[in-house]
Structure 1
């Protein structure tokens, strides 16, 4: 190595070409001929500078983490809101979905509506007569109705094994077209019965409206099951398709 005063270098206090001099506190500066000899000094300086370099890096990393956390929180809030909305829509759609009606055991009232009530009505002789004494039958409730023609047409339309039963609160008048009251076999082997129901119990049991000038007809098979009920009828033509089912 050579000192700063050797090799043509000016001595201390003599800066070349007007350049500023080296501070005295630096001491003697030695420039090695082989720069690799400065490797240890370079590593030492780098070690001293390393903590100062990590501080900006750590600060940048912390800032990025804060930014990511700041972005993640709104995203989570939005995601939760979307999930709650979807759940509400699904619950609303499920509640509006029509559900099949649950099976309900038939009550005594519904069974009574499916079969002809087993009532005891009053015959022409004043004695009680079972309403279901002759089945199958076409039962005509004739209160408030001028139903002589309907009764005659119904008797003509039925077969010999089907009875025609008329029910009214009062005994029907005997006319040329209406057979006399009673339960007697009529011409061609057909049975016609005229019964009185003073309290209107049959009409109530069948849930029929009050009389309105037309007859109500109930078609009953051999087992007493109601095939069909006509709340209002004035012509046998409306009954014929179901009479064929008796």
Structure 2
């Protein structure tokens, strides 16, 4: 039988001694007074039971031999895979532009810096495939028409060219393109002229080179347009 506590209360008859750290134990006459404590105990038991069930389903419970649970490495691997996939999705997911989804259009340049050095000594060919030294036609406005015949713009250049300035049209390959009257039409089989100015063909545009009588490249016009854009340069190469 238990010993009485400091107040002279001992354990009820028929019960073993209780741990002293429990303090004073009072058993009410009406069991309904313990209803709140009973509900809390049941909640804790249900919570522990659910934890045990899920740990067993995920393989997180310890094995009988004391080794780590099988599900723990799988869970770590699954989390690592999810993090990796989320990072890849963040990198590759298409982003809308700040302008409401409209892509930014980069306009084709209408002016370009002058290339360094004089015009190289290139030999082009005419309609009869006879060689024609390009320097023999200086001063000249040389128009590359392999990406655009641009007949109207070429005709305007011929009308605006001062006396003594030759308007030359050049196509890549060996076939000479048809050109308006007053134009010296040539072909560039080796593509040396485009390689010199480092300007790729752009559909619908015809770049032009303005070269003075000494072979100096005065200006490159990437897209032949209104005469007003290069009229002053025509006067310069004619001087």
TM-score bracket relative to the smaller structure = 0.3 to 0.5
Question: Whose helix proportion is higher, 1 or 2?
Answer: 1
TM-score norm. by structure 2 comes to 0.47
Q: Decide which structure has the larger Cα Rg and report it.
A: 1
